Amino acid sequence: MKVLAINLSLIISLSNLLQIESLSHAGSECGAQLVESIPIGLTYNSTIISKPTFDGLIGLVSSANSSIEIASLYWTLQGSDVMPHPDNSSLEGTKLLNALIDSSKSRSVKIRIAVNEGNLSDNSTDLALLKGLAQIREVNFNRLLGAGVLHTKFFIIDNKHLYIGSANMDWRSLTQVKELGIVLNDCQTLANDLSKIFEVYWYLGVENSTIPKQWPQELATDFNATNPLSISMNQTDYSVYLSSSPKPFCPFGRTNDIDAILSIIENADKFIDIAVMDYFPIFLYQKNTHFWPLIDNALKSAVIDRKVSVRLLASHWNHTRESMPIFLHSLAAFNDKKLFGATIEVKLFVVPAFTPFQASIPFARVNHNKYMVTDKTAYIGTSNWSADYFVNTGGVGFAITSKNNTSAEHNLRDDLQSIFQRDWDSSYAKYI
């Protein structure tokens, strides 16, 4: 009976996709905007003002008329989920949670949440408050793959609007942690493609589910690194695709996330700028450490073989592992243009705690974003850069390449490049 229940769940999920398939090829103009969470007190000598992550997410949830799908690692949107005496910086998380509750109660919006099993805070009541209002499934990576977590962070609204980025379902991700993502409006084809990734999580969230040897054809995609989707966003033409990890979670046609990253690195002609919290060419969470130099080799090859300059902005905070500077120094050793014809520069970004209260917030005050921008492509992901995140952990990436419209005012690659340059030049970033 359990097998029948799992198969029935997949059939129902696929029928949802088929219902919107006829709409998914509508060539309407998409709206796209980068969103950021800038921790309270962090200021720049810069004119760049991004839309806050909270504004982007609350706008999406408030606009929902029929459905909301959320893929998430954990839920701590209320201040009391994290600490006994939070301050007002937790209120945005509470507002987002209340907006989700209201969407179900007042507008009968169907909510589905895929969350990592075992990452529910002992103090968190967020999902309990959504009980009866949302369908919730927990994905057990230990059972499915022997390791890993669902580290993905995305929203799909009404099968046409979406968010992908680094922000967790956590009030700290709105006001106390530096995050970056993208909000897309009226992008039915792209939302439908992201829905296929969500349906993989949804299927695997059924008790005793197993990873199929071959995923159903309905979950296959036509859009990938070799055949990207042509789409107009903000009156600019782009080639885009969604990538996913781990590889066993990728139905036919889906580009594996690490392959997307390597492809973007290998196709860069002039420069590669990377902002990521953790950078390790090893497995971090296995009992026995193993070397995993795929990204390391690609970056060094870009410098030596193609004279492409690389800048890496990693993060330093209370929980940075002692070994990370060792690996970063091995990259920074290539900062010699005379010798190599190009350079690798490495900086660490620190988000200070400006008050005793900020210092007391657990797991906060860090640059948590995960993106890359080259002279050709912008990439926004949900994974840190170590082997585990690509081999046995759930994550997604969004790759965007403009199609010869580089002079457009709202070119997303240029916007992301400006954000990177702002952070790189700031007083919070120091050479390793």
pLDDT in tens, 331-377: 999 999 999 999 999 999 999 999 999 999 999 999 999 999 999 99
How do the domains of the chain map onto residue ranges? 2-431
Of 370, 388, 415, 423, which residue is the catalytic one? 370
- The total of other beta-carbon atoms located within 10 Å of residue 318's CB is 11
Does residue 95 have an active-site annotation? no
Of 375, 376, 410, 414, which residue is the catalytic one? 375
In this prediction, what percent of the chain has a pLDDT beyond 90?
Answer: 89
Mean pLDDT of the chain: 94
Q: Measured in whole angstroms, how far is the alpha carbon of residue 233 from the centre of its chain?
A: 20
Q: What is the CATH number of domain 2-431?
A: 3.30.870.10
Does residue 161 have an active-site annotation? no
Of 126, 153, 257, 296, which residue is the catalytic one? 153
Q: Does residue 430 or residue 18 have the better pLDDT? A: 430
Residue at token pair 């209260």: 357
Torsion sign across C-alpha atoms 352, 356, 362, 364: negative
- Asked if residue 396 has pLDDT above 70, the reply is yes
Where do the DSSP E strands lie in 117-217? 134-139, 154-157, 161-165, 169-170, 179-185
Q: What is the per-residue burial (b if ≥16 Cβ within 10 Å, else e) of 88-112? A: ebbbbbbbbbebbbebbeeeebebb
Does residue 296 have an active-site annotation? no
Looking at residues 125-152, what average pLDDT do you find?
A: 97
- Asked if residue 264 has pLDDT above 90, the reply is yes
Least confident of 27-36, 117-126, 240-249: 117-126
Of 151, 160, 161, 178, which residue is the catalytic one? 151
Does residue 153 have an active-site annotation? yes
- Asked if residue 405 has pLDDT above 90, the reply is no
Least confident of 2-16, 139-153, 330-344, 353-367: 2-16
Helix (H, G, I), strand (E, B) or coil at 410: coil
Looking at residues 59-81, what average pLDDT do you find?
A: 98
- Asked if residue 49 has pLDDT above 50, the reply is yes
Of 158, 296, 415, 423, which residue is the catalytic one? 158
Q: How far apart are CA 149 and CA 299, in angstroms?
A: 27
- Asked if residue 420 has pLDDT above 70, the reply is yes
- Asked if residue 10 has pLDDT above 60, the reply is no
Does residue 25 have an active-site annotation? no
Q: What is the pLDDT of residue 26?
A: 41
Extract the tokens encoding 358: 């900020």
pTM listed for this prediction: 0.94
Q: How far apart are CA 22 and CA 210, in angstroms?
A: 30
Contacts of 60 (CB under 8 A, 6+ apart): 155, 157, 161, 162, 163, 183
Q: How far apart are CA 359 and CA 156, in angstroms?
A: 34
Does residue 2 have an active-site annotation? no
Residue at token pair 């917030």: 361
Q: What is the pLDDT of residue 25?
A: 43
- Asked if residue 89 has pLDDT above 60, the reply is yes
- Asked if residue 24 has pLDDT above 70, the reply is no
Q: How far apart are CA 380 and CA 396, in angstroms?
A: 9
Q: What is the pLDDT of residue 29?
A: 87
Q: What are the tens digits of pLDDT across the range 217-250?
A: 999 999 999 999 999 999 999 999 999 999 999 9
